[in-house]
A and B are shown apart, each in its own frame.
Chain A
Amino acid sequence: MTYALETRGLSKSFGALTVADRIDFQLDVGARHALIGPNGAGKTTFVNLLTGRLAPSEGLVFLGGEEVSNLSQSERVKKGLGRTFQINTLFSKMSVLDNVALGVSERLGLSSGLWKTAKSYANVTEEAMSLLELLGIESDAHHIVKDLPYGKQRLVEIAIALGLKPKVLLLDEPAAGVPSMESQRILSALDLLPKDIAIMIIEHDMDLVFKFAQKITVLVQGAVLCEGSPQEIAKDTRVHQVYLGEQRA
């Protein structure tokens, strides 16, 4: 079976400290998958290994069945791997529309154009605007990103990633730092995303995780502790011990 994303024995060590320990992971096409674990479990490191931001010490990464372990971050993006960041990583002094348009233009291969003006590429701005409409932030299109509330900035993060038309989307704590009212809005936005995109979400907000995910992987100390449906994970005593105990006890 071909997975949208797969890792085999993916490991990363910084000296004696192992932050990813022989992780075998599969993400089905169109999956809604959550990766959870206590702080310091290595979740963001795992995402960085998947995207090529970090080079693994060992192991392989496959995207749609094709090995991408040796490809750069930007090459993996071109092959359909999109991501958002745990801490907003936006073009904060640019408009919301330009933030998204940059990604769209990059995907369409227009960003190296030197002579025609950016404004003349109406298809780029139209597509960027339609993504903002999808996420319900089109009224903020011409606002400078740093002037937006944090929750909306999280949505801009998602809009930029969607502009890349990814086959696999990795969302690193999309609701981090967002008030609970607004995290509901983010969940609604996630529900609207195209069903053919495989999405893996890292999140500490368990309500959001259990509402969103069809499958959950629990990571502890850089290794997979267990994997299963939300119901199975909720019943797993090991998970209660290492992570869920505090929230759902």
Chain B
Amino acid sequence: MSQLVGYTVDSRVRWTEYLPWLLAVLVYFLLPDYLSLGSRVLTYILFALSLDLIIGYAGIITLGHASFFGLGAYITGILAAKLGVTDPLIQLLASGLGAGLLGLVTGAVILKMKGLTQLMLTLAISALCLEVANKATFITGGADGLSGMEIAPILGLFKFDLFGKTAYLYCLFLLFLTWVVIRRLIYSPFGVSLMGIRENAARMHAIGAPVYQKLMVVYTLSALIAGLSGALLAQTNQFVGLNVLGFEPSGELLVMLILGGVGRLYGAFVGPVVFLLAQDYLAKQFPEYWYFGIGLLLVLVVLFARGGVLGILDKFTASSKARQSGAQSS
């Protein structure tokens, strides 16, 4: 399922690409008790997709992606709890645009840098956002968080219910729309040129590509999507706390992506599922040591499966194909 990008790559949807959606629909019907966890997983898949776009496809290294996620969550939270804007779609739009604007402004500085300097800048911006949210208690609730959020029915028709059915379908629909957009982008000439930048930025300059502008576009888009996922989290939890900002959620997201497979599109689907299910299970079994299990999982992936879970599947598929062709030729 590894994502090959290029001018001769067939962009038609392969049968394996239907599997995540089929699975998501099956979860809705077969596991109604797990829809809250399902919404959380879908939200983090959206968040991970936004990170994969910049790390996996454009090669921008960041440890501060939660800034956009957190801002998106807080915009929705503030609109719902403080300003009386209860329409979820308006909240969603405002969160996306706000996070996109932050991406545009911070990207203008960050993307001028490279390597460790770039990484440290993303971390610094993330820390700044966390501190602003912590100190601006009058609007963010500070350490107590934002509660008392009022979310109106979607389009005036679909009320967020106790069982999380509406929230699940709402998250799934938004994820699907975003997947369509990102998939088109990856297979477009712009997507190929992003891969070119990731592979060799010096050469991209030498073929006349406006590298900085392209990176600005993708960074802003990624921030916007992260903001949307933050808004989803706020709407489905009806609470926003400081834990949506800072290094920890950014680091966790990166771990999810590494577990799934970076730069593979569907790694962003697999990683959050593995991470959140492992977290859910381990936190119940070993409440004090669940992070140890996640850490161990990450160590194993980094040591033995650099391409994440999808990398393992790719190797398995390649070796079985090689065996088949060997059997046919002999």
Show the binding face of A for B, using Cβ within 8 Å: 51, 53, 73-75, 77-78, 83, 85, 89-95, 97-98, 101-103, 105-107, 110-119, 121, 124-125, 128, 142, 160, 163-164
Whether the pair A98, B8 counts as a contact (CB closer than 8 A) is yes
Of B50-58, B199-207, B234-242, the segment with at least 4 beta carbons within 8 Å of chain A is B199-207
Specify which chain B residues have a CB less than 8 angstroms from the CB of A95 in the assembled complex.
6, 8
Whether the pair A94, B207 counts as a contact (CB closer than 8 A) is no
Known: A125-B7, A142-B8. A112 touches B206 (CB 8 A): no
Q: Does B11 count as interface, using CB distance less than 8 angstroms? A: yes
Whether the pair A121, B8 counts as a contact (CB closer than 8 A) is no
Whether the pair A74, B192 counts as a contact (CB closer than 8 A) is no
Known: A74-B208, A116-B188. A160 touches B7 (CB 8 A): no
Q: How distant is B326 from chain A, measured CB to nearest CB, in Å?
A: 20
A112 CB contact (under 8 Å) in B6, B189, B202, B208? B189
Q: How distant is A79 from chain B, measured CB to nearest CB, in Å?
A: 9
Specify which chain A residues have a CB less than 8 angstroms from the CB of B24 in the assembled complex.
none
B199 CB contact (under 8 Å) in A93, A103, A121, A125? A93
Binary flags per residue of B193-237, CB closer than 8 Å to A gives 1, else 0: 101100110111111111100100000000000000000000000
Whether the pair B7, A118 counts as a contact (CB closer than 8 A) is yes
Whether the pair A114, B188 counts as a contact (CB closer than 8 A) is yes
Known: A118-B9, A124-B7. A113 touches B188 (CB 8 A): yes
Whether the pair B9, A90 counts as a contact (CB closer than 8 A) is no
Specify which chain B residues have a CB less than 8 angstroms from the CB of A118 in the assembled complex.
5-7, 9, 11, 187-189, 191-192
Whether the pair B196, A102 counts as a contact (CB closer than 8 A) is yes
Q: How distant is A230 from chain B, measured CB to nearest CB, in Å?
A: 29
Specify which chain B residues have a CB less than 8 angstroms from the CB of A164 in the assembled complex.
207-208
Specify which chain A residues have a CB less than 8 angstroms from the CB of B211 in the assembled complex.
74
Specify which chain B residues have a CB less than 8 angstroms from the CB of A119 in the assembled complex.
7-11, 187
Whether the pair B189, A110 counts as a contact (CB closer than 8 A) is yes
Q: How distant is A56 from chain B, measured CB to nearest CB, in Å?
A: 17
Specify which chain B residues have a CB less than 8 angstroms from the CB of A163 in the assembled complex.
207
Whether the pair A89, B202 counts as a contact (CB closer than 8 A) is yes
A174 to B214, CA, bound (A): 30
A-B pairs with beta carbons under 8 Å apart, 21 shown: A83-B206, A85-B206, A89-B202, A98-B7, A98-B8, A102-B204, A102-B207, A102-B209, A103-B208, A106-B208, A106-B209, A112-B190, A114-B184, A114-B190, A117-B11, A117-B188, A118-B5, A118-B188, A118-B191, A121-B7, A124-B7
Q: Does B185 count as interface, using CB distance less than 8 angstroms? A: yes
Specify which chain B residues have a CB less than 8 angstroms from the CB of A89 in the assembled complex.
200, 202-203, 206
A216 to B196, CA, bound (A): 35
Most buried by B among A77, A78, A118, A121: A118
Q: How distant is A195 from chain B, measured CB to nearest CB, in Å?
A: 23
Known: A98-B7, A107-B208. 15 other contacts (CB 8 A): A74-B208, A89-B202, A90-B200, A97-B6, A97-B7, A102-B204, A113-B189, A114-B188, A118-B9, A118-B188, A119-B8, A119-B9, A119-B11, A124-B189, A160-B203
A182 to B150, CA, bound (A): 72
B185 CB contact (under 8 Å) in A91, A114, A121? A114
Whether the pair B206, A51 counts as a contact (CB closer than 8 A) is yes
Most buried by A among B205, B206, B209: B206
A222 to B41, CA, bound (A): 61
Whether the pair A105, B192 counts as a contact (CB closer than 8 A) is yes
Known: A85-B206, A98-B7, A107-B208. A91 touches B199 (CB 8 A): yes
A112 to B206, CA, bound (A): 17
Whether the pair A77, B207 counts as a contact (CB closer than 8 A) is yes
Name B206's closest neighbour in chain A (CB-CB). Answer: A83
Q: How distant is A84 from chain B, measured CB to nearest CB, in Å?
A: 8
Q: How distant is B122 from chain A, measured CB to nearest CB, in Å?
A: 25
Q: How distant is A82 from chain B, measured CB to nearest CB, in Å?
A: 8
Specify which chain B residues have a CB less than 8 angstroms from the CB of A111 in the assembled complex.
189-190, 192-193, 209
Specify which chain A residues have a CB less than 8 angstroms from the CB of B10 in the assembled complex.
119
Binary flags per residue of B257-292, CB closer than 8 Å to A gives 1, else 0: 000000000000000000000000000000000000
Whether the pair B8, A125 counts as a contact (CB closer than 8 A) is yes
A78 to B195, CA, bound (A): 21
Specify which chain A residues have a CB less than 8 angstroms from the CB of B190 in the assembled complex.
111-114
Known: A77-B206, A91-B200. A98 touches B192 (CB 8 A): yes
B6 CB contact (under 8 Å) in A74, A83, A98, A115? A98
Specify which chain A residues have a CB less than 8 angstroms from the CB of B184 in the assembled complex.
114-115, 117
